[in-house]
Amino acid sequence: MKVTYAKAIGDALKEEMRRDSKILLFGEDVAEFGNIFGITRGMLEEFGPKRIRNTPITETAIIGSAIGAAETGLRPVAELMYTDFTTVCFAEIFHCVAKWRYMHGPEYKLPLVIRAASGSSNGAGSEHSNCVESLFMHAPGLTIITPSCAYDAKGLLKSAIRSDNPVLFCEPKLLYQSKQEVDEAEYESDYTIPIGLADVKREGTDVTLVAVGLMVPRALEAAEKLAAEGISVEVIDPRTIAPLDKDTIFASIRKTHRAAIVEESNKTSGIGAEFAAMFQEELYDELDGPVARIAALDVPMPYNIPMEHYSIPDVERICATIRGMF
């Protein structure tokens, strides 16, 4: 069967809410309207207004309410619509959500998931098209997840909801309508994917390409093209940015001796910057050349759609960068 990324998110939410009555979902337009992408459509009718709630347009209050709900033993899923809006409630996420479990001792739990649509979206403009993972990588205590396909999105969201740690769950907007062929019996089972476990999406021998979110399918397409040129690319999807599965990534680099990172967010101080520094510090003797970073241009995301497409990495930019490593 084929499943869209958006349906997988919705299926995970419904399955978890049926399993545990302590789970509730709230955010802007999630109830009657069913979320601006239709992901929560029908959930108000099934779970009722106490568990599916619209909120005012005030992200600070959304996260503050979610913190309070989690502290009382509930398991809230707070939707912020776009990841861009995490900056409106940055203090609540950076200081409270990320730090409080550490600050208050081993008995304290904060089972809170913050969901938001991430990245470019064909003309949404610079205030609705950002990736924020690298901002929150600087917030120890916060789990950061960015799935790249429907199967992973469902399994990781279920794990996030069941976690006693706070999770920022980023959903690339351009993947919502992408379809993936999945095994029907496995998909409909109560499967989860462990947090902090990377996935080797394609094996290779010449270069390790770590791809994040929307860039994973583009990396796989690039790897297919490069294979025809005699370059074997191993594509790794970290899935969880924090905590990071260094073992899987490092094992690949020790095999290929070359590394590149492709991400949708800006290049300066991005995910790739941190990963490249990590590879240089811990795997210097394994590398046969510099770590390559492929990322969005350091510009506010253009409203003009052709300019937007030019600003973020495409298959040809990935291919050109990898070719340049040889």
Domain ranges of the chain: 2-187, 199-323
What pLDDT sits at residue 233? 98
- Of 16, 128, 234, 274, the catalytic one is 128
Q: Name residue 211's beta-bridge partners.
A: 262
Extended beta strands in 60-166, E state: 75-82, 113-118, 143-145
Decide if 59 is catalytic. yes
Residue range 254-269, pLDDT digits in tens: 999 999 999 999 999 9
* Half-sphere exposure of residue 102: CA atoms within 13 angstroms, side-chain side: 11
Alpha carbon separation from 267 to 161, 249, 297 (Å, rounded):
31, 20, 6
| Stated pTM of the model | 0.96
Contact 294, 272 (CB under 8 A): yes
Phi, psi of 163 (to 5 degrees): -75, 145
The residue among 19, 41, 168 whose CA lies nearest residue 98 is 168
What pLDDT sits at residue 106? 84
What pLDDT sits at residue 203? 98
Q: Domain 2-187 is of which CATH architecture?
A: 3-Layer(aba) Sandwich (3.40)
Decide if 128 is catalytic. yes
- Of 16, 28, 59, 263, the catalytic one is 59
What is the fold, at CATH topology level, of the domain defined by 199-323? Answer: Rossmann fold (3.40.50)
Domains 2-187 and 199-323 share a fold: yes
Give the whole-angstrom CA distance, residue 185 versus residue 34: 27
**Which bin fits 221, alpha (ψ -120 to 50), beta or left (φ > 0)?**
alpha
- Which residue ranges in the chain fall short of pLDDT 70? none
